[in-house]
Structure 1
């Protein structure tokens, strides 16, 4: 039976965070608020726990979850290469609704799924999420919904979809403020590429990076960028991006996407 804590009450919040931290350390699943939507998360370094997270959502290894961190320092320990713009994007938009896909540090002992050597990292702004992350370290976190259904912006919506058998702890932080998933940006290229449009617009990204390639859209080539519940996957075949309508359009830069997958969308 899940334990639900109303974090608007100071005592319940303290007890809930302690319970959630213990649950994460045991490899159990917890649902937590973020600044975008509610997420379901667990210890990023426990392959068994990550597999349980994906099974609870109805996902396979081909859609690995992103990793939430409590500090930029924690993020840099997970990333082998931030590219030319990673540090600037972190300083401008973190904590906040921006997920950065980077080459993962090769020596890490984890198994998030079929990541093709990459990891999506984000530092959320929500104080409850940050407190938990600073206590337990990096967490694999996906949106707190069943695959194909809408992301939860209230804890009641998460409970309705996920139930009280697989999730150990629900942290109720009220309705989320942004209610839009994070923008996902791939930094494994020389030019940043938007894998999924979200709360941070491409204009905001370009104010920091200059050139940014917009989100690929489904066209005659069959290349797709997002599934039915808004969770991103990377294009599986080489196809230069088109110049779509703003704010999600490309800027005309021609570059071939890598084969593989981007992390699941949000989360968060």
Structure 2
């Protein structure tokens, strides 16, 4: 049976965070609030836990989950390198609704799915999510919904879709953002042949194209 804890209640949040931390350690799933929508998370370094996340959502390995981190410094440990334009994006929009795709650190032993050597990383702007990430380390997190259904903006909606496939639900009330993060692909800034390297928007969301242009200028690829 899954458990739901109200993170707005001082007693419940202490118990909920402890149970969430233990669940992650056991390779189980946790639903957590973020600044965009609710997410379902698993230990990023446990292939079995990541597969459990994909199975719970009804998603295949061809759609690997992003990784949430609790600090900007963690990004450098997960990716091959952080190009200067990406650092500008991090400085401008983290914590916040921007997910950045880069080549992953080759020395890491993990299996997020068919990533083709990349990882999508984001630092959320939500105190509950950041507190959990501080205790667990990086989490593979995808929107808390069944594939094809709307992303959950309330914990109860997530529980209605995911049920007992998730061990712990952390409820922080309605998600204030309600819009999924913007995803940008910055891999061409790292990989060879990058004279004409551009950052490409894979999904428009919480951070607008205009905001990205304000930081990147002509390094942002024009929409096709």
TM-score, L = length of structure 1: 0.79
2:188 is the alignment partner of 1:201: no
Structure (1/2) with the larger helix percentage: 2
Q: For each residue in 1:158-181, what CA deviation from the matched residue of structure 2 results, as whole angstroms up to 9, or x when unmatched? A: 011111x21100000100011000
Task: After TM superposition, list the pairs within 5 Å mapping 1:1-268 onto structure 2.
Answer: 1-163=1-163, 165-189=164-188, 190-211=197-218, 212-214=220-222, 242=224
CA–CA separation in structure 2 for the residues paired with 1:75 and 1:10: 31
CA contact (8 A) 1:202 1:214 kept: no
Aligned counterpart, 1:239: none
CA–CA separation in structure 1 for the residues paired with 2:27 and 2:38: 19
TM-score, L = length of structure 2: 0.94
Structure 1: gaps (5+ residues): 216-241, 243-268
Runs of 4+ in structure 1 over 3 Å off: none
CA contact (8 A) 1:62 1:113 kept: yes
Q: For each residue in 1:150-205, what CA deviation from the matched residue of structure 2 results, as whole angstroms up to 9, or x when unmatched? A: 00000111011111x21100000100011000000101122111000001001101
Q: For each residue in 1:16-61, what CA deviation from the matched residue of structure 2 results, as whole angstroms up to 9, or x when unmatched? A: 1111011111110000000000000010000000000000000000
Q: For each residue in 1:243-262, what CA deviation from the matched residue of structure 2 results, as whole angstroms up to 9, or x when unmatched? A: xxxxxxxxxxxxxxxxxxxx
Structure 2: gaps (5+ residues): 189-196
| 1:214 CA drift (Å) | 4.6
